Amino acid sequence: MILSKSGLKSANEMAFISIDDAAITALCNYIKINNLSEVKSNDKSFNNFDLFLELIEKQNEIRKFEMRDIKKFHNLRKNLFQQSDVISMETVNEYVVLVKVLLAYLYNYRASKLGWEQMVKDYQNNL
């Protein structure tokens, strides 16, 4: 939302990367906090996003179609610099919704639309 108003040519890409970073952080922290993996944080596979998504899906923390959609968006990031034109504001907004769902499932964190908008305004004021 903040970046969409910035007028930057790469705003969608920057927003998309930020959303993906939030998904990665939420997922990795949940796995670590709940000791769901034998993988240690210094192990190269600790950052295996797909593996961790599958772990939480097996724990019934997310549904299979949500896992598939989150993987799809995460994989878009891997090709972002070759195909930056595929990141529309609609794509960013769809990923935002999935990350909100992920936060709700994993951390029982739910904010109303007004709550999210207030957080955005507070963030803008602190820039």
Q: What is the pLDDT along the chain (127 residues), one digit of tens a residue?
A: 455 555 556 788 888 888 999 999 999 899 888 887 765 555 555 458 888 888 888 888 889 999 999 999 998 888 777 766 668 888 888 999 899 999 999 998 887 878 877 877 776 677 5
How far is CA 43 from its chain centroid?
Answer: 22
What is the structure's pLDDT at 79? 78
Half-sphere exposure of 66 (CA within 13 A, CB side): 20
24, 30, 13: which is closest to 88 by C-alpha? 13
